[in-house]
Amino acid sequence: MPPSPSLIDLPDLRLDDACALLEHDARNGQPQANESPTDYLQRVINSLCELSLKDPLTGLGNRRHFHAALGRQIESVARSGESVLLLLLDIDHFKSINDTHGHLAGDQMLRAIGQCLERCVRPVDTVARFGGEEFAIILPNCRPLFGLSLAERIRQAVANLSVQVGPLLSIQATISIGGAYAPEWVRSTPELWIERADTQLYRAKSNGRNQACIDHPQELSVSAEEKGLLYSHLAADVTNPFESSPGNVTNRVNA
């Protein structure tokens, strides 16, 4: 039988490595005055969980955090039909920045663009580093009327950045943006939603880069897989209000 938590001796847990990971926050080094061992341990655990969801270079959410947020939005869209926009953003010709100015300059550019993206969005939005030179933004309650103008505002804000990478050297970069709205009233999957946004990102880059392409909701066709996801959910939910009028469900799926 495992020992009671109250009998655990903190030194036996060997928290040195965990605390070393949290050295950016001096409070996490040692228990504070009047802090119980349980409270201290909980604080360390909470801080480690938060750290596991952050990209170490930019401080943005990492891919794990992004996928969790995307899953939550998919559930919200399925329940409420809310308009949620996913943007994928890629730095144009990023390899040439690394090749010309070095990887430290590339890192500075990534940090600067990450900070710029955070300034462009609301607290409720999610900004994450998707991987490499690619970022992602999830924008809940973003009506289709504003999607393209918002993406253009973000694109222009990045284009206006001047990042100092040396005593007498500043560089600029542009981004390409692809966006897709989640199909309303459909319990889609992260993979299908990302694929749609990625298709638009490829379109933006193929058309010359430094531009935004958004898949408007009316242009979206619900895939066979998404229809299956929707109908299997309805079959399992005998209390669904659409069950007595299947025409309503069909209209929403085919819209």
Query: Choosing from 75, 133, 184, 195, which is the catalytic residue?
Result: 133
pLDDT of residue 194: 96
**CA-CA distance, 27 to 19, in Å (whole number)?**
10
Question: In degrees rounded to 5, what are phi and psi of residue 3?
Answer: -65, 155
pLDDT-derived band of residue 223, with 50, 70 and 90 as boundaries? low
Q: Tell me the mean pLDDT in the region 80-94.
A: 95
Which of 52-56, 196-200, 250-254 has the lowest average pLDDT? Answer: 250-254
pTM: 0.74
DSSP for 75-107, please give it. Answer: HHHHHH----EEEEEEETTHHHHHHHH-HHHHH
- The residue with greater pLDDT, 67 or 219, is 67
Angstrom distance (rounded) from CA 173 to CA 180: 24
Verify whether residue 82 is a known catalytic residue.
no
| pLDDT (0 to 100) of residue 34 | 80
Q: What is the mean pLDDT of residues 201-224?
A: 82
Nearest 5°: phi and psi at 134?
Answer: -110, 140
**Distance between CA atoms of 65 and 236, rounded to whole angstroms?**
29
- State residue 12's pLDDT score: 64
Q: Measure the CA–CA gap between 155 and 157, rounded to whole angstroms.
A: 6
pLDDT at 69: 96
Average pLDDT over residues 205-222: 81
Which distant-in-sequence residues (6+ apart) come within 8 Å of 171 by Cβ?
Answer: 97, 101, 105, 109, 162, 163, 165
pLDDT at 244: 38
Mean pLDDT score across all residues of the chain = 82
Kindly state the average pLDDT of the residues 109-132. Answer: 97
Q: Where are the domains of the chain?
A: 5-52, 63-219, 225-254
6 vs 197 pLDDT, higher one? 197
Q: Quickly name the fold that domain 63-219 has.
A: Alpha-Beta Plaits (3.30.70)
Q: Assess whether pLDDT exceeds 70 at residue 226.
A: no
219 confidence band (pLDDT: 50, 70, 90): very low
Quote the tokens at residue 114: 């990450």
Residues 45-75 pLDDT 10s: 777 777 778 998 999 999 999 999 999 999 9
pLDDT tens for each residue of 8-53:
666 666 666 666 666 655 455 566 778 777 777 777 777 777 777 8
Is the pLDDT score of 231 beyond 60?
no
